[in-house]
Amino acid sequence: MDVQRKTAGERERGSSWIEGLLTVAALGMAAVVAAGALNRIAGQSATRSLASEVKALVAEAATRAVCERTYVGVVFSDSENGVTARLYRDGDADGVKREDIRRGIDRPLGSARPLKQPWARVGIPPEVRTDPAGNPLPPDDPVRFGKGNTWSFSPTFTATPGTLYLRDAEGKEAWAFRAAGIDGRMRLYRWFKGTWTRWG
């Protein structure tokens, strides 16, 4: 009788030990899945926040151009911490140009603003092969406006045609700001799960 009880007790202890291992393994797997989900959520949130910053910057440039009756450009530049954007006002009625900026003719409107967050930055995920129109897309050129990196707005509502791309850290989501030269309108597209869709 005592032998039987001892064996049953040993069996109970053995079951508890195995169950404990299974519980720890399940919790570990859940933590990994949760961490991945949190990373995706953080990336999407940061990318959308960065997209909102770009929209506000573009709206300011376009509004200033019309209200002040001059060209205003968003100049994108590479820095040690990534791409920055800075507004400039045309000083000689020929548009915002890099040469005029170097010569002090086109003057800055405020300081340079970094377009980077811990989970998002200017860039194109490697999986994105085409632009929103379906044309082949070089992955190493996320800022493309005319022949340079200046998104310029005129007092007559026109703008430099081109596209600015943003991406999250994991490459799961991207945004494209596309400018039409004729009417100066900005169109926003979102890339997610392999597809571009018009946003807003």
Q: What is the pLDDT of residue 190?
A: 94
Contact between 109 and 89 under an 8 Å Cβ cutoff? The reply is: yes
Whole-number Å distance between alpha carbons of 77 and 143: 9
How many CB atoms lie under 10 A from the CB of residue 8? Answer: 10
Domain hosting residue 35, numbered range: 2-198
Q: What is the pLDDT of residue 40?
A: 55
Q: What is the pTM of this model?
A: 0.77
Q: How many domains, the chain?
A: 1
Residues paired with residue 85 on neighbouring β-strands, in sequence order: 76, 113
Report CA 166 to chain centroid distance, whole Å. 3
Question: Which distant-in-sequence residues (6+ apart) come within 8 Å of 109 by Cβ?
Answer: 64, 72, 86, 87, 88, 89
> Domain of 180: which CATH number?
3.55.40.10
User: Residue 40 class from Cβ within 10 Å (0-12 exposed, 13-18 middle, 19+ buried)?
Assistant: middle
> Could you read off the pLDDT tens digit of each residue along the chain, which spans 200 residues?
454 555 544 445 555 766 655 566 555 554 444 444 445 565 567 778 888 899 899 999 999 999 999 999 999 999 888 899 999 999 999 999 999 999 999 999 999 999 988 889 999 999 999 999 999 988 788 998 988 899 999 999 899 999 999 999 888 899 999 987 677 788 999 999 999 999 86
